[in-house]
């Protein structure tokens, strides 16, 4: 009898097909709607493996129900949706999808920085709404990117990839991290700074930290008060790293110039979200890794991890 793998969101059949010889797949058949909790728990009872998204809470309740479970493959780099300690207590392997999304997420992060700096979304709306009637010297004038200081908080794989892009724009690279990154310093000329010093010096502050107890609301009222009033804040990490009320206040009071956000504390957000209503904010629906090529690679890596563990082999990317 083949092991059972439960997939919590509809994925293309052509990606599953090569793996059907190793496992039977049960799948939530909706692409845009998360699996209801009761369905998730019911499916957990018979699953040997689970392929899940960040929207699914893999907590102790889930793990207690999943008596046959051997592996949880998370389709993301972060895994704050999973109780890793509880999984470890039950000898359940947890895997994620590092590396395959690094460059794509760095592309989006830098694109978000540029779109926020130059008012690309506002300019697009300006044309579409029929407001382009004239020209003036400072019409839709944004901020330069070339030559400005970028401050990267969280110099992991994605942080270094963003730094490489910044180097192409001749941006002095400042960074803060739990440990020094000698390679980035030597190859990119990156300068390590204490967190407070980075906030004071950077023209662009980019958050790429994982969500941990130490980074919960790292960007709070005090942090925004330390930034330049011309600074632009970019968050492509986790929404929980930002005190959204403090950010809203900083934007409304012009303590900082603008913000570009791909993530939020509670997702999805509505058009009535306070940050979505601001003219000096660009809001995206958590699309950091959302290219067709990369999402397929992430799914394949999850499936490779699942089949490896269920065949008794070592997982490729355990957390």
pTM: 0.91
Average pLDDT value for residue range 184-206 = 98
Catalytic residue among 9, 165, 176, 286: 286
Total tally of structural domains belonging to the chain: 2
Q: Is 250 exposed, middle or buried (0-12, 13-18, 19+ CB in 10 A)?
A: buried
Catalytic residue among 238, 248, 257, 295: 238
Instruction: Give the pLDDT confidence of 2-50 residue by residue, as tens digits.
Output: 999 999 999 999 999 999 999 999 999 999 999 999 999 999 999 999 9
Do both 303 and 254 map to the same domain? no
Judge whether 186 lies within some domain.
Answer: yes
180 noted as active-site residue: no
Do both 118 and 60 map to the same domain? no
Give residue 197's domain range: 102-283
Do both 91 and 106 map to the same domain? no
Instruction: Give the pLDDT confidence of 74-121 residue by residue, as tens digits.
Output: 999 999 999 999 999 999 999 999 999 999 999 999 999 999 999 999
Do both 181 and 278 map to the same domain? yes
Name the residue among 246, 263, 264, 257 with its Cα closest to residue 279. Answer: 257
Q: Could you tell me which residues come within 8 angstroms of residue 254 by beta carbon, excluding any fewer than 6 positions away?
A: 229
Do both 28 and 106 map to the same domain? no
157 noted as active-site residue: no
Do both 10 and 67 map to the same domain? yes
C-beta of residue 172 within 8 angstroms of C-beta of residue 178: no
Do both 279 and 298 map to the same domain? no
Q: What percent of the chain has pLDDT over 70?
A: 100
26 noted as active-site residue: no
């Amino acid at each position: 009898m083949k092991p059972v793998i439960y997939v919590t969101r509809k994925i293309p059949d052509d990606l599953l097909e090569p793996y059907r010889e190793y496992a039977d797949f049960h799948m939530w058949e909706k692409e845009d709607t998360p699996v209801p909790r009761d369905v998730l728990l019911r499916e957990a009872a018979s699953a040997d493996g689970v392929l899940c998204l960040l929207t699914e809470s893999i907590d102790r309740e889930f793990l207690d129900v999943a008596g046959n479970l051997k592996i949880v493959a998370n389709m993301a780099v972060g895994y704050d949706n999973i109780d890793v300690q509880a999984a470890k207590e039950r000898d359940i392997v947890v895997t994620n999808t590092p590396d395959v999304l690094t460059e794509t997420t760095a592309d989006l992060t830098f694109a978000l920085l540029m779109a926020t700096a130059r008012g690309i979304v506002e300019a697009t709306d300006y044309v579409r709404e029929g407001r382009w009637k004239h020209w003036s010297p400072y019409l839709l004038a944004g901020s330069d990117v070339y030559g400005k200081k970028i401050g990267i908080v969280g110099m992991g794989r994605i942080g270094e990839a963003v730094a490489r892009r910044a180097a192409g724009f001749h941006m002095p690279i400042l960074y803060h991290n739990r440990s020094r990154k000698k390679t980035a310093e030597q190859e990119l000329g990156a300068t390590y700074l204490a967190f407070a010093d980075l906030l004071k010096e950077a023209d662009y502050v980019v958050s790429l930290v994982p969500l941990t107890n130490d980074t919960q609301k790292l960007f709070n009222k005090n942090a925004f008060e330390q930034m330049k009033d011309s600074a632009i804040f970019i968050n492509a990490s986790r929404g929980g790293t930002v005190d959204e009320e403090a950010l809203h206040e900083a934007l409304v009071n012009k303590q900082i110039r603008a913000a570009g956000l791909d993530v939020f504390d509670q997702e999805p957000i509505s058009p009535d979200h306070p940050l979505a209503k601001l003219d000096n904010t660009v809001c995206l629906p958590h699309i950091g890794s959302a290219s067709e090529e990369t999402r397929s690679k992430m799914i394949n890596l999850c499936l490779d991890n699942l089949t490896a563990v269920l065949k008794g082999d070592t997982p490729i990317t355990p957390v």
